[in-house]
Structure 1
Amino acid sequence: MLSSFDESLSWSVWRLDWASLWPLQLSGGLRAGPIDADEALAFVAAHYAEVFQADAADRRFLPDPMTDAKRRFFAASDRIAFYDGDRVVGLLVGNPVDWSTYYWRTVALLPAYQGRGLLAQVLRHTDALMRAHGVVRVEGECAPTNYRQLRLLLRLGYVVTSTVTSERWGALLRLTRFLNEEAEEAFAERFSKDTGLPRSPSSPSTSRGERHEEVRDRHFLNPTQMRCASRGAQ
């Protein structure tokens, strides 16, 4: 069991201390705060089918049982609970993917607490804290038919950046919230060009075309480099 966020992956990578957010008061008299690993796992076990609308008889995907490795990873992740009084009614679990990217692994609210803006309230605070510590982007995944979650994330500034398929969860959309203006602009230059989507303004001293060339040259690998990178990753 972890007694402190100081032992989390976020602390190791960014020296990010979530304690500065607490107590975080939410609408309706609820609050968000830390939760230890054992209590968080107990909440997931008790409410998994209810929260994720999972059917125990569904065998389409490969089961992901609890192991010692999974338990240790969960303990080193960040865990934020939604509280109604002393009762846990929701859970956020996340972790760094690398030195610039954060990933929300689990988002769970009991049905009676969904659609009340609670998640949006927490994410606005966590985004601000992560931006202040140098996190470039925050990512999460969502089922393509989870329209409520998609609408919420899009309103918060997330964009769909890829699709993900796995033997564990099937097909999901990956959404990204850019916390760094340069990274957001670079993404827009590649994928929003001539589509009418909102774009970050270019530098006043640089034309749109010049900025596009500059960003492309700095961030794209040529085909030879891409093949070498692929071989190196095998």
Structure 2
Amino acid sequence: MTIGFPLIMEALRKVLPDGSEVFAAHGHGRSYLRWSSVLHRSLPGIVECQLWEDLDNRPAAEKTVALITDVGNDILYGESSEPLLASVRECLRRLQRHEAKTVCVRLPISRVSRLTARSYWIVKNLFFPGPTRPWSDVLDTAKSVDAGLLRLSAEFQAATVEPPAEWYGLDPIHIQKSQRPDAWQRIFDHWGLVERWPFAPVPQHTSIRWWRLRPHERRIFRTSQAHPQPVLAQREGVSLWLY
């Protein structure tokens, strides 16, 4: 989601009414369960981050929509299906308290199942350095998590989107740039907010500005940093709370 975050936020600012609030927990390689690191930056697990407490402390919204995606990251950190699905279930339970209309993006099984063991090794060590499990074990876990995500979505009455293989290129886990507008259109359609989302190319300098916004908590070179939220506060327009 991080790569597409500028595209998403620019569209949300055009669609959502003034006074809307966006709560986002994302980041390259983000874990649902625990702290995760990419290069020099570390972020807390989604299920344990401050987002949930801050969301509960806000006034009740007239309408809440939510997105759960990138569930497969933890598999590449060596996590098994049971604790991962338990963390997703907890997120869905918390969203249910807010009567959120939730969309869950399934794992890209149709694409990753085409990977060879060698391709998996390259992708794993490029994006998720560390101990490498056998490809057959990882694929079995991915299929188990995807099936569990379907069950949880049915339990919590969340919509699901199955990513088609054509969304992906050589990189099997990040949506191709050319496919992103159509992909996010298909995902956000389930919210029923607008008929056609105004996704448009985002200039590089604008994308960088979105990516550089500071979350509530992170570590840079093992030094803890905190930043008050919302990171983007607007009386007229959309405010952003980042975690």
Compute the TM-score of the two structures, normalised by the length of structure 1.
0.32
TM-score, length-scaled by structure 2:
0.31
Q: Which has the larger radius of gyration?
A: 1
Which protein has greater RCO, CA pairs closer than 8 Å, 6+ apart? 2
Q: Which one has the bigger strand percentage?
A: 1
